[in-house]
Structures are given as structure tokens and as C-alpha cells.
Amino acid sequence: MVEDWVLTITPMLHYSELLRTTDNGQRTMDIFVGIDVGSLSTDCVIINEKEEILSYSITETGANSTESAEKSFEEALVRSAVQRDRVKRIVATGYGRISVPFADKKVTEISCHALGACKLFPDTRTVVDIGGQDSKVIRVGPDGKVLDFTMNDKCAAGTGRFLEVMAAKLEVPLNEMGTLSMGAKGEVRISSVCTVFAESEVISLVAQNHPKEEIIRGIHRAIVNRVWSMVKTLGVKREVTMSGGVAKNQGVVALLEEKLGHPVRLYKEPQIVGGLGAALHAKGL
Amino acid sequence: MSLPKKIRYSFMKDYGAPALMKMAGMRKKKRRGKTSPLFGPPLRCNDRLKEIITRHYFLSRYAEGAKPVAWVTSGAPVEILRPFDFYTIYPENHGALCGAQKVAPELCALAEERGYSQDLCSYARVDLGVCLTGKTPVGRLPKPDLLFASNNICQTVVYWYKVLAHHWRIPLILLDTPYNFRGIQEGDVAYMVRQLEEMIPELERISGKPFKEEKFKEVIRTAKATSLAWGEVLATMKARPAPMTIFDAFGHLAPVVSLRGLPVALNYYRTLLSELKERVERGVAAITNERKRLMWDNIAMWYKVRDYANLFAEHGMNFVTATYTNAWAETTPHMDSDRPFDSMARTYSLVILNNNLNHRLHLMESLIKEYQVDGLVIHSARSCKPYSVGQYDLKRLLMDRLGVPSVVIEGDITDSRAYSEEQARTRLDAFFETMEN
């Protein structure tokens, strides 16, 4: 389910930028920035004081997190056509949050995903975030505050990294994995939860001439099963919002919905939920 | 036991150890200086504690051949060894010491090189590393004449001590304590009493000393008084602000674990208790800004104790209770010198790790209420499966029933290789953010 909460952002809309950064065309509004430096991607979100998204950027996290944060920030600034000196406050989040020297505050991605998801879908009570290097399930209150959370960060199973490794092994582009699995006629069972073991399993499945689509579906099932155990740990509280890069994969989303027995809330750009939460934190400081 | 070794032991006990303590005391005075603004004044008893532990390990080097030596698990009924004058070494206590000194990964690796799996408890790996190579930060551990274990804390100790028994070709005595799925069963008590009775002739043979029941009863009285005093020490942390932190208590726990039943431990806790009571009366706080009160679950992460003490103090959060430190105060009061065998069986069978999860839930609930706890930090220890199983259920139940927020930190008791600073910090930061809501 894709929610169109904000206008489609396009870099050239200078006129609308003017509208959205001023209050009734008179007073200049304050601008807030959230930067989520994750293990694979760095996402920057710029909002105004009405909490409207002016622009965002998604860039790859390179070897230097400070540079990645700077690059992502610059890119978002260009897209929003907001001058840097107009930014009132910046909050950094994600694993690289400590390496953002220009941030006013560092907040964990757990609090940011909770706040971001609740902004987009106010009825959110559970957030399932599957990122590049970890996955987490967060239980949130009506105000977007974290009540409880659980994380998988010790191994790659149930994370974007698992998908990446498998996509590379199957020679399928990562962004095509979802579509391919949706067209699968059957499903191959991946019995191992360990990335390294599952990789060998996939190699032997390929050797046995199993269709790629069915293997991919099995891979998605393995991820969902891993995440499901975390969801069960906290208990399912509706509504469930998905965030993180893996939420772009419709195959994973469909299987999670199958497990839940009801649809999940999904923003059209799930990768920026953490960055949005960080920007909202910046506004709330 | 040889006469020259006995003479040497007595000499070291009466002259060597006091001289060593004096030297250590002098060195200490020179080093003392800066104190952190995060903490109140340090406990005077810290020096005495160090003295007791240093003396215990120093003298142990000379105990071999002078006294019967036993290596004992933390949950074993050591009281039964005391009438035979065993010098007792606690490998778990020694493992904690190696963990705190950050040498455990190296010692674990020594055991791993010899084929022991990384999935094995790190107390066991440290100990196997030590006994297979002789390396230890305390200088030297005496070779035991007896191994004494009880599976009331875990099954690992049984296999670990079997390896030691095989290595040195020495006897292993085990107290098998059936798990309490519900309350304790009378048939189980009878089974444990029978085992304890059967130990007596074996202990007489190994130590060469006859069993004296009166002495045994005396030891039980001392042990009970010690445990009660330890319970009172912990109870002082009910005060707001608490006069010490659980990180202090992790250290002050050593005598009740490894010197239980000896007057030295009892006297120590009486001194500590009066110091703490005095602090409570004068309103002396362990951390200067106690805004939130926390509970710790599971064994300490020995290599992180100091870092965590600072980190939590920076956030104005103080740990005031722990299921771990409480374990040595929880059941020993069941001891009854008039029914020595029967009460020992109950005392050691009813320990937290030999009880069902419902028991743990109720215990945690009552600790949270009694100590006015605002949040819970759960250490999921890779080493200690019996302690770590069920933690997610407990976490959820405590949240639902008492609304107490909690965080699970994955790590290990001594092997810091199983701990990731980066990932633990993210969880802790999120926990701090939740606590501030």
C-alpha cells in the first residue's frame, strides 16, 4: 500500500519551494534537516516547520561517513533550492551518526524510525525496519515515542546484506528481485538462516536447475521468517509500518503481509523514514 | 600433606601475606588522587576487599601440599567442605577476575587452540586455558585434590569439571539438583540429602580428616549470617539516593561467593554494612546525580564494568539491584544448622537458575517494586544459556505488567570478542532516549 503523503519532489520546482519555505507568502519558515548515515546508504531529508518534506537524497555510504553525510546533505540542499545558512538545526542518525560533525544532535535510528513512521502513518504501532546491516522491530506509542524494540545486528541473516549476497550469486539486479519473485510459480525452501550457509545452498539449488524465481522467493521467505521471530518477540500491534531499503522489495513485503494476515503501511520511499524522523527530531529540539 | 609445605603455608599466612598487604597499601597511597565528579566518595571498604582477594590468591599458591585443595563451582554447597579444612578456589571467580583484567580472550584462545568450541562457556574456556597452560594473572593456581560441582547453575560445569578430573586424575564430587519445574519436591530433597551424606566418607578419605557434625553446623551458622549480611548490604540500595551501585556490588560479591562459611567474609560484610548504613544516614550517594534507577539481569560483563559505570552515571542512571547479586542472598537464609543436610539441599536446589521462569518473573517484579526501578538492562550472555534463556519473554511480560522499559545487550561475561561496542551503544542510546521520554 503506497501512501501519497507528500507532493512528488522534483528539483526544478523553485516556485513551489518558495511557497513551502514561507508562511502565507510572508514570513520565512525555519528549515530542519535529518541525516541518516546507514551502513549502505546515507539519506538526507529536509523539512520546513510545517513538517512538510522539501526534498530528500539517497546516496551511497562510502568509506568516509563524514564525506557521505556532507555529500548527501549538499544534494538534498540543491534539490530543495534552500540555502545552507537557512537551515536551523540538523540531527544525525544511523550507525555513522557520530561522524557527522555539523549535526546539532545525534539520535539513534530507533527513535528516528519510530518518529518518522508515525509522522507518515499516525496509526503506526509497530515499525519493521529492514536495513542494510541490521533489522529491527519497534513498538511505538501514539506520539511516536519508542516503547520497546528488538534488533538483529549480530548476523546478516534477515538484512539487506543477505539479499545483496544472494542477488550477486544469482546474477540478478537487486531491484529486480521483488518483481521476479512475484512471478514465481512455486517456492524452493532455503533451510539455513546463516548467510554463508544459505549462499552455498543457493549455489547447489542453481546447480539442480531450480528456476531462479522460485529460489528468490525462498530467499525472501528466509528473510521474513528471521524478521518474524523478532516481530513475535514484541507482539504484533496494528498498524505495522515497514521502513528501510528492503521494504522496496515487493516480494518481501508480500510475504510479511501473508504472515501478518493484514497489509502493512508502506511509504513510497521507505529508505528515508529514518532521515525524516531525524529532521522531525531537529524540529522538536 | 607434607610437613615442610605446612610450615611454609603457616609462615606465609602469618608473615608473608601481611607483609605483601603492607607493601600493596603503600603503593596504593602513592597512586591515589583524582576522583570523578560523576561519583560520590569511594567506599572505604574497597581497600579491604582488595586485601582479602589478593591475600586469598596469594596464599593459594602455598596451599598445595599443605592443605587439601578443592576447586568449586559457584553454586556448590561449599559448607560441607569447610569442616575438612579445604582451601577452596572458585574458577568462576577467577574467570571474572581474568575478564575484568581483559585477559580472558587470550586465555579462551588457548583452550580453543586445543579444540574447545567458541560456543562453550567462557568461564570454562578461561579455566581450561589456565589449567592446560598454567597462565593466569594471579600468578599461579594450586593444583586441586578434589573437584566439587553442582549442576544447580548449569549442566556445563558437569562436563567442564569432568575434563579437569580427567586431566589431573583426581576425584569429582557432584551434587545433582533436579530442576524445579514447580515447587521443590520432597522426593528430590531426599535424593539430594542422600547424596550429601554419601559425600562425607569420600571427603574424609580425600582430606584425611574425620567429619565433625558440630563444626559443620558452626560453618552453616556463619554462612547463613554472611548471606543475611550480604542481603542487608544489597538492601541499603533501596535508599534514594543509593549508597552504592550494582557495579560496586559486583566486586563486593566475591567474598560471599568464594569465602562463604569463613569468618573473614562475615566480618567483611558487617564492616561494609555499617559503612553503607552510615552513608544512607548522611545521604551520601554513589552517583552524584541519581535521576533514574535501574536493574541488571544476568552475570556482569566483567570487561565492561568500569565503562558502563561511567556511561550510566553520565546519564544520571544508577543500577540499584540485580538478579545476579541477589542470588547469594536469595536462598541461603533457608539454611538451618539444626537440620544441616536437609536445609543445605533446599538452599542449593532453590537457587534462581534451578527454578522455573515464573519464579524469575515474580522475583524480578518484586525487586522492581522494592527498589523503585525505572528501567531494566538485560545482558544476554553468550556463555550463560540457563541465565539468558527466556529473557525476551521476561522483558515483554515486565513491560506489559509493570510498564518498565528494558533493553537487551548481547555480549559475554568475560570474552569481549562476543561483544560489539558499536551495536551495544546504539541499543543503549535508544534505551536512554526511551528513558528520557
pLDDT digits (tens, 9 = 90+) for B195-227: 999 999 999 999 999 999 999 999 999 999 999
Query: ∠ CA A53-A44-A70 to the nearest 5 degrees?
Result: 140
pLDDT over threshold 90, residue B30:
no
Encode pLDDT of B291-329 as tens digits. 999 999 999 999 999 999 999 999 999 999 999 999 999
pLDDT at B74 (0 to 100): 95
User: What are B242-261's pLDDT values in tens digits?
Assistant: 999 999 999 999 999 999 99
pLDDT digits (tens, 9 = 90+) for A220-243: 999 999 899 899 888 889 999 999
Q: Is residue B396 less than 8 Å (CB to CB) from chain A?
A: yes
Q: Is the pLDDT of residue A9 over 50?
A: no
Predicted pLDDT of residue A12: 43
Cβ-defined contact of A111 to B433 (cutoff 8 Å): yes
Kindly state whether A155 is in contact with chain B, defined as any CB-CB distance less than 8 angstroms. no
Contact B433 A110 (CB under 8 A): yes
- Which chain A residues contact residue B378 at CB under 8 A? none
Is A206 in contact with A220 (CB distance < 8 Å)?
no
The single-letter code of the amino acid at A170 is L
Which of B315, B380, B420, B434 would best serve as a mutation to test chain A binding (most A beta carbons within 10 A)? Answer: B434
Report the pLDDT averaged over residues B171-196.
Answer: 96
pTM, 2 dp: 0.87
What band does A13 get if pLDDT is binned at 50, 70 and 90? very low
Give the pLDDT of residue A81. 87
| pLDDT tier for residue B19 given thresholds of 50, 70 and 90 | confident
Residue B370: how many other CB atoms lie within 10 Å: 13
Q: Does B434 touch chain A (CB under 8 A)?
A: yes
Peptide bond preceding B241 in cis form (omega within 30 of 0)? yes
- Residue A153, pLDDT score: 67
pLDDT band at B373 (very low <50, low <70, confident <90, very high): very high
Cell numbers 543509593: residue: B242
Cα(A58)–Cα(A38) distance, integer angstroms: 11
Among B31-35, B95-99, B140-144, the minimum mean pLDDT is found in B31-35
pLDDT value for A198: 85
* pLDDT for residue B384: 95
Instruction: Tell me what pLDDT residue A14 has.
Output: 46
Would you state the pLDDT for residue A25?
56
Q: Does A234 touch chain B (CB under 8 A)?
A: yes
pLDDT given at position A43: 96
> pLDDT digit string (tens) for A50-79?
999 999 999 999 899 999 999 999 999 999
Which residues, 6+ apart, have CB-to-CB distance to B277 below 8 Å?
B236
How far does B170 lie from chain A, in Å, by closest CA? 41
pLDDT grade, residue A155 (50/70/90)?
Answer: confident
Give the pLDDT of residue B20: 84
Q: Are B383 and B353 in contact (CB under 8 A)?
A: no
Please give the DSSP secondary-structure letter assigned to residue B316: T
What confidence score (pLDDT) does residue A5 get? 42
DSSP bridge pairs for A45: A34, A56
The interface predicted TM-score (ipTM) is 0.79
* Per-residue confidence (pLDDT) for residue A192, from 0 to 100: 77
Mean pLDDT of A116-139: 94
Q: Does A185 touch chain B (CB under 8 A)?
A: no
The rounded percent of chain B whose pLDDT value lies above 70 is 98
Question: Using 50, 70 and 90 to split pLDDT, how confident is the model at A10?
Answer: very low
Whether the per-residue pLDDT at B151 is higher than 50: the answer is yes
* A146 neighbors B437 (Cβ within 8 angstroms): yes
- Whole-number Cα distances in Å, B165 to A94, B140, B143, B203, B308: 50, 19, 11, 16, 37
